[in-house]
Amino acid sequence: MNWFARQIQHYETRRWKTDDNRLVRPFAWGLEHVGGPEDHLDPPAFLRDYARQAIENSHDWYSTAAADDYRLDSENVLTFTSSIASPWQENNTVYAQFFPARKRAGHLSKHCAGPQNGNNASATTHGGHDRGPAVLILPNWNAKWHGQRGLGEWLQRIGISALKMSLPYHDRRMAPGHERADQLVGPNIGLTLQANRQAVQDARRCLRWLEQQGFSRLGILGTSIGSSVGYITLVHDSAVRAGGFFHVSTYFADVVSQGMTTAHVWESLRPHVTVDELREYWAPVSPMPYVERGLGSGKEAFMVYGKYDPTFLPALTEQMLTALRRHIPHPRTLALHCGHYSLELPPFSHIAGYRMLSFLRQALA
């Protein structure tokens, strides 16, 4: 490892250690979250069969209709009910922040009203009027409410509207007694499956709202776990033209077992499951099975990753890209000499941001 790579690794480790609220939570099979009995005599067999069927029928497993209670308030915060009812009521309302393209910023007020007058945004129609492109932003794991606001504002400035969705169990959706989204990535196998399935279905409901507002050229921009959720949404939703992804990897289990930021999750899991077993259980919420099936091969995608990433290991990213190249000869990629956290630093953030925005503007033109 060269001097520069060591400096990046040192920075990544320092950033990781600044979060001192990680807890090693208890392991659980969590069958009750995926329709199984808590007292099933063979949880591994149940999960293997459940995962196999979910992948084989992934279009049905991830399908959802538009919500019937969309509301946009005076601060451009969209809310609606999630299609999956989780055990925590707080998590079952989806929150998303809307950034209308500045040249069209006044258009929405003519058609959508917030809760102050009781109107339902889902009742809006636009008579086929095309309001231009829009991008759904899916942030990283444990992002705060204002996290990645800059991406929405950047897109606004170049004439692309954006909707930034809070992932399940994040910020305003966080379960009581939790400081982190331990349900989205955690040692409860069934709950992690349910939470990531919920994330995709929530994303698709956001896309339906954008369509109702007259946006027909739709894209997705995901970061870290937002990339995983975003890629799965991209390949299962015919309305999405293009996806941009910061940090990409193969299987959920490989990231959790090998990545630096999920070491505390793997500490709870490893006495109970092997990596191979966990890869099988969590395959439905991993990008790799859908890459291998060639889903989404006709859509445009741009993937940015760090050569010194200790969270999404570069070897895993290369495996993903190798599989992708079997269906797309020359996928668009950008490899930077940075890591996971350090992608946020200049010049990496400037390079990645410029290239990503350029890609989305071209792909959604």
Q: 135-157, pLDDT tens digit by residue?
A: 999 999 999 999 899 999 999 99
Longest CA pairwise span in the chain (Å): 61
Confidence of residue 38 (pLDDT cuts 50, 70, 90): confident
pLDDT at 130: 83
pLDDT at 116: 34
Give start and end residues of each alpha helix (H) in the chain. Answer: 3-18, 43-56, 58-61, 149-157, 189-212, 225-236, 252-258, 263-269, 275-281, 288-292, 314-325, 348-363
pLDDT at 20: 82
pLDDT at 238 over 70: yes
Confidence of residue 113 (pLDDT cuts 50, 70, 90): very low
DSSP 214-247: T--EEEEEEETHHHHHHHHHHHH-TTEEEEEEES
Q: What is the C-alpha R_g of the chain? A: 20
pLDDT at 166 over 50: yes
- Beta bridge partners, 332, equal 302
d(CA 286, CA 275): 14
pLDDT at 128: 56
Section 65-87 average pLDDT = 97
- 220 phi, psi to nearest 5 deg: -130, 140
DSSP 153-216: HHHHHTT-EEEEEPPTTSGGGPPTT-SS-TTTSSSBHHHHHHHHHHHHHHHHHHHHHHHHTT--
pLDDT at 98: 98
pTM: 0.92
Three-state DSSP state, 272: coil
d(CA 44, CA 306): 35
pLDDT at 259 over 70: yes
pLDDT at 40: 85
Nearest to 19 by CA among 166, 139, 142: 142
Mean pLDDT, all residues of the chain: 92
Q: CA 142 → CA 129, 181, 239, distances in Å?
A: 37, 6, 28
d(CA 158, CA 183): 36
pLDDT at 329: 78
pLDDT at 112: 40
